[in-house]
A and B are shown apart, each in its own frame.
Chain A
Amino acid sequence: MQIVPDKFSSTINEMGRVALLFWETANALFRHKVDWRDVSYQLYFIGVKSQSVVLITGAFTGMVLCAQTYFQFHKVRMDTATLAVVSVSMCSELGPVLTALMVAGRVGAAMAAELGTMRVTEQIDALRTLATHPVDYLIVPRVLATVIAMPLLTGEAITLGIGAAYIVGTFLLKIDPTYSWANMLYYSSAQAVAIGLIKAFIFGIIISVVSCYKGMNCREGAEGVGKATTEAVVTTSISILISNFFLTLFLNRVFAS
C-alpha cells in the first residue's frame, strides 16, 4: 500500500530542490563576484520594461476599488472613508500582490522560457564547459534584479493606484477631497507601506527562484519549454497567493509588537 502519494512526494521533493537552488544562489551572491552589467541588463528588462503593465494594473485597481468602496459606503454616509480603505488595501495587500502576479506573468514566463531554451539547446552545458557556473551567470543577476525591481514597482503601483483613486473619488464621484485626504492620512500608516514593500521583496525571491528553477530543469524539446513556462507562471502565482496570507499574519504580528 502506498502511504505517501507520488504527487505529494514529488511536490515536496521539488520544493526542497527550489530551496536548495535559493540557498546556492544566496551563497553565490555573497561569496562570488557579481557581474553588475548583467544585473543592470536584467534590471532594465524586469524593472523598466514591466512598468507599463504594473502601472496600468495599479491605476485601474485603485480606481475600481475606489468606485466599489464608494458605492457601499455611500449607503451609510461614510463617503470620506473611501480613500482610506483604498490606501490601506493598496499598501499592504493589493499593491504587492497584483504587482507580483503581473511580474510573474511577464518576467517569470520569460525567465523560464529563456533558460529552458538554453537548456534544451545545450547552451547551459556550453556555459559549464566554459568554466562558468550557471547559478553565477544566469540566476544571480535575475534574482538580484527581481528583488531590487519588485519593491520599486510595487511602490509605483501603490502610488498610482491611490492617485487614480483620488482623481476618481473627488472628480467623478464628488467625494469631499479635504476630509477624504485627512481620513486617508489618519488611517494609513508607515507600517502598511513597510508590510507592502517587505512582501514585494519576498515575492521577488519567489518569482525569480521558482521561474529559474523551472527553466533550468525543463524537459527536452519545445513541449518541455512550453510546459516549464506554464508551470513557472502557475507555481509562482499560487505561491504568491498562499505566502501572502501567511506573510499578512506574520508581518502584522511583528509590526504590532
Chain B
Amino acid sequence: MIEVRNLHKSFGAQKVLDGISFEIGKGESAVIIGRSGCGKSVLLKHLVGLLIPDSGEVLIDGENLAGMDERQLLPVRRKFGMLFQSAALFDSLTVGENVGFVLRRENELSPSEIMQRVEETLEMVELPGIQNKKPAELSGGMRKRVGLARAIVYKPEIILYDEPTTGLDPVVSDSIDQLILRVCEQLKVTSVVVTHDTRSMRRVGNQIIMLVGGKVYANGTPDEIFNSQDPVIHRFVNGISDPKEHNF
C-alpha cells in the first residue's frame, strides 16, 4: 500500500534523506524511529505529498506522488489522516468546526448528520461535549485527541502520526497510545507513527523502521529491534548516549 523507493531530499547543502526505501502493507502499523533531526518528520511529510522529493518515488496504492502537482494530490490525500506534532488545529474555528472540517467542505452530509458524526468521533477520542470550545482552551493532550478526531472523522485508509506523545506526561501518553491502537482496530487503517518514545513504539507498532544518517538503518518487528545486539540500535532503544559522539 505504501512504498518508498530510493528517496532523496536535501535542504540547501544539508542532505536529510539519502536513498530511503521501504514498504508498509495494508492494515500494518509501522513506527519510524531515529534520533532528533534524522529526517523522520521529513519522511512522513513525503508520504502525504507535503514535501516534494529531490529524487525517488513515493507510491500510494501504486500511484507515484512525486510527479503530482498540488491539485492532483488532493484526491490521493483524501486517503490520509494526519495528526501533527502540535495538533495544528485551526485556531479560528471551534473544536466541532475543526473536526467536521472535511465533511463540511465535501458538502455531502446535512449539517445535522455532520454534527452527529462529529459527536460520535469526539466520543471515540473520549472528549464528548467539547464541540463549542476553541483550541486555545484545550490542554496539550486534549488538542492531540481533537487533532486525531479531525484526522479520522472521514474514515481515511492511512493515518500518519507525527510524534503523538511528545510533550505529554506519561499517563496522557499512555492514553494516546491506547487511542492509536483502538483507532487501528476499529477502523482497520494503516498507521505510520513517528516517535522517540520507546514504550510507545513497542506498543503501537508491528514494524519498526529506524533511520540513521538519512538512510534506513534497520527494518524489522519490535522484537527484532528491541532484542538487537547492534550497538547503534541497542543504544537508541535503551536511551544510552555514546560519549565518543560530539553531541552525546
Contacts and interface: CB of A to CB of B under 8 A. Distances in A.
Interface of A: 35, 114, 118, 121-123, 125-133, 137
Contacts of A114: 92
B105 A132 contact: yes
Contact of B75 (A121, A130, A131, A137): A131
Interface SS of A by simple majority: helix
B91 A123 contact: yes
Contact of A129 (B50, B70, B71, B105): B50
Contacts of B77: 128-131
Contact of B102 (A125, A131, A133): A131
B45 A130 contact: no
A183 B105 CA distance: 55
A131 B82 CA distance: 11
A121 B81 contact: no
Interface of B: 45, 48-50, 70-71, 73-75, 77-78, 80-82, 84-86, 88-92, 101-102, 105, 150-151, 160
A35 B151 CA distance: 22
A129 B81 contact: yes
Contacts of A121: 86, 88, 91
B74 A133 contact: yes
Contacts, number: 57
B48 A129 contact: yes
A126 B45 contact: no
Contact of A126 (B49, B70, B74, B84): B84
A126 B92 CA distance: 14
**Most chain B C-beta atoms within 10 Å of own C-beta, residue among A114, A123, A127, A130:** A130
A130 B84 contact: no
A123 B86 CA distance: 9
Q: Which among A127, A131, A137 has the highest number of chain B CB atoms within 10 Å?
A: A131
A128 B65 CA distance: 14
A112 B126 CA distance: 36
B88 A122 contact: yes
B90 A133 contact: no
Contacts of B70: 128, 133
A126 B90 contact: yes
A137 B105 CA distance: 9
9 contacts: A121-B86, A121-B88, A128-B50, A128-B70, A128-B73, A131-B75, A131-B77, A131-B102, A137-B105
A216 B160 CA distance: 24
A123 B48 CA distance: 15
Given A121-B86, A122-B88, A125-B50, A130 B71 contact: no
